[in-house]
Amino acid sequence: MLSKELTTLLLAGPEAKEDALRRKRIIALGWVGSAAEIDVLIDFLRGDPDALCRAWAAASLMQLSFHAVAAETVREKTKTVFAEAIRKESDLRAAGIMLEAAQTLFGKKWISAAAAEAAEPKAILKAGKSALRFLTRCSAE
């Protein structure tokens, strides 16, 4: 019950113009949200102007699968979205976070935490190609 109240508070406030406040809201939604917040997080992942907001939206989608939402539900709703986000992400740090979130959610191993954290271009590009192959194939099924 408390999670629902917290989610309501997180979503009820005015649109946060400050990147840092949006990031905090996005992270909190991953911890206390439910299946109803998947679409909210998808919107952040697809179109937030701040790279870290997009990255934390990916991580929060993964986080939902650890708590209130069945992992299969999150996977089914996000496989094409993760592919789209990874394909168009130009910020290496954000791309690394997205790849880590997707590999955890989908049970794969494309990139090491160290390479993602260091935003290593070669590792991120290689992992991105592998992730896109998998997610594209997964979406076609």
Check residue 44 and give its pLDDT. 95
Residues in the chain: 141
The pTM for the full model equals 0.90
Identify the residue whose tokens are 């168009």: 88
pLDDT in tens, 103-119: 999 999 999 999 999 99
Check residue 112 and give its pLDDT. 95
pLDDT in tens, 54-113: 999 999 999 999 988 999 999 999 999 999 999 999 999 999 999 999 999 999 999 999
Work out the pLDDT band at 3, boundaries 50, 70, 90: low
Check residue 45 and give its pLDDT. 97
Residues 6+ apart with CB under 8 A from 137: none
Check residue 12 and give its pLDDT. 62
| List of domains in the chain | 2-140 (1.25.40)
With a cut of 70, say whether residue 5 has pLDDT above it.
Answer: no
pLDDT in tens, 8-29: 666 665 566 788 888 999 999 9
